[in-house]
Amino acid sequence: MIINEGFKPKRKANEKLPPGQYEETGFPVLSLGPTPKIDLGEWRLVVDGLVEKELSWDWKEFAALPAEDVTKDIHCVTKWSKFDTKWRGVPLDHIMDLAGVSPEATHLIAHSYDGYSTNIPIEDIRAGGPGKAGSQAWVAYLYDGKPLEAEHGGPARLLVPHLYFWKSAKWLKRLEFVKGDKPGFWETRGYHNYGDPWKEQRYTND
């Protein structure tokens, strides 16, 4: 029996579904190419660009950073949405604090081990921005309590659930802070530069 369920304000399934999306219960894999095999002993995550202090973590150092457990809905531009996905990750605003991101920086460019990249405005990765209170972006490394599977971006991926899922770069390698925008892989190939699922910003001119 579930007690106190009534105290949790839960959106009904249809209210959780952005326009044009359907609910998916599996976890589809969408990758440009083959899954890069990244040995934990060789993995590094670099933070650079407009920062006071460039950072470069190996796996042990990264795993020791303060992390959060979050449950989020995710929305892929190919129209599937998956509700209540569970992740553990390091909040981006914490990483930004550690690096001392310059007030001049306007965007984060996430770079991946497979050559993929994607651009996200700074206010979308800071706590308390358009994605509501608290952190709104993470470098995630556990999914459902287990190490993130390679096909889903392990060892670590970006998680920006309030934007279409292509913004959540898998196999994360480098967080580059820049002044001025720098559209990434899909953003230069016909997809929307920002990608708000609730506004159905799928393609460039949506």
Ligand X SMILES: Nc1nc2c(c(=O)[nH]1)N[C@H]1C(S)=C(S)[C@@H](COP(=O)(O)O)O[C@H]1N2
Quote the strand ranges of 122-191, DSSP E: 138-143, 146-147, 157-159, 172-178
Q: What is the token pair recorded at 56?
A: 């470069």
Closer by beta carbon to ligand X, 97 or else 206 = 206
What is the spatial distance between Cα 124 and Cα 130, in angstroms, rounded to a whole number?
6
The residue from 112, 135, 136, 201 that contacts ligand X (CB under 6 A) is: 112
State the number of binding residues for Mo ion (CB under 5 A).
4
Rule CB under 5 A: say whether 29 interacts with Mo ion: no
C-alpha 91/C-alpha 158 separation (Å) is 10
Binds ligand X (CB under 6 A): choice among 43, 57, 62, 171? 171
Binding mask 160-199 for Mo ion (x = CB under 5 A): ------x---------------------------------
In 33-178, which residue ranges form alpha helices assigned H by DSSP? Answer: 59-63, 92-99
Asked if 168 is part of the footprint of ligand X (rule: CB under 6 A), the reply reads yes
Note the residues at the interface with Mo ion (CB under 5 A).
30, 76-77, 166
